[in-house]
Amino acid sequence: MDVFVSVGTGLSPKQEAFVEALEARLRAVGLTPCTIGRNTFSADAPLRAVTELMDRCAGAVVVALERFRFTEGIERPGSAQEKTLSAVSFPTTWNQIEAAMAYSRGLPLLVLVEDRLRVDGLLEKGNDWYVQYLSVEPVSFGSPEFTGVLESWRGRLKVTKQNVSAPAVVEQVKLDPSNMTVAEIVGALKPAQLWTALGVVAAALVGAFTLGAKLFG
């Protein structure tokens, strides 16, 4: 079963090992991770490619890792709520975009956030999905908490057209009237066929009676 994985590109070796461990964990429970530019490729524009891929996926995993790091900055500059920031890190904006696209499609979301990030929007806790903050270590995926969250999310995955098996074909048995009794033939007829047969028999009887009357009358 395919699941969409939102994760940035240009990862550090530590981040790459983390994402590879997640992909292996997903495969271990029967899921196939799909990410544009990582294991799925398209010649279409990014949003179109994401749309087409997401439409055939049963759920989405958002992996928010550090993309931007600022040693200092200012929040809401010039306002009454101006605030000085230091050592702030943010993920790629594609995490927000793809999370919104998945939610709009009704896909179950699993949001994993690096524990050092400053988050907002769809990466915050308190939405319609579970957000788990993790250290960027492969061992994070072996914790009881992650295992429980993964199983809960996997149980809610949306069944898509690609995941539905074709309906079973009912075998049609051909009947040989020459080997059947009258009762078996009558029993094998559908109601409409039975009424038609009775009509034919009735008409034949009436015709035979009329012909006999003419010949012997």
Domain CATH number, residue 27: 3.40.50.450
Instruction: Give the pLDDT of residue 165.
Output: 39
Q: What is the pTM of this model?
A: 0.69
Residue 42 within any structural domain of the chain: yes
Residue 170 within any structural domain of the chain: no
| Contact partners, residue 87, CB within 8 Å, separation at least 6 | 69, 70, 71, 72
Q: What is the pLDDT of residues 52-88, one digit of tens each?
A: 999 999 999 999 999 999 999 999 999 999 999 888 8
Which residue range is the domain that position 143 belongs to? 2-163
Averaged confidence pLDDT in the chain = 79
CA distance 21 to 4: 16
Q: What is the pLDDT of residues 172-184, one digit of tens each?
A: 444 555 555 555 5
**Is the predicted pLDDT of residue 207 greater than 90, yes or no?**
no
| Contact partners, residue 128, CB within 8 Å, separation at least 6 | 103, 109
Residue 171 within any structural domain of the chain: no
Q: Domain tally for the chain?
A: 2
| Contact partners, residue 1, CB within 8 Å, separation at least 6 | 30, 31, 32, 58, 157, 163
Residue 28 within any structural domain of the chain: yes
Do 155 and 185 lie in a common domain?
A: no
Residue 110 within any structural domain of the chain: yes
Residue 168 within any structural domain of the chain: no
| Contact partners, residue 150, CB within 8 Å, separation at least 6 | 25, 29, 110
Q: What is the mean pLDDT of residues 80-100?
A: 91
Do 210 and 126 lie in a common domain?
A: no
| Contact partners, residue 53, CB within 8 Å, separation at least 6 | 4, 34, 36, 40, 42
Do 130 and 182 lie in a common domain?
A: no
Residue 47 within any structural domain of the chain: yes
| Contact partners, residue 177, CB within 8 Å, separation at least 6 | 185
Instruction: Give the pLDDT of residue 41.
Output: 81
Residue 100 corresponds to which tokens in the numbers above? 């919104």
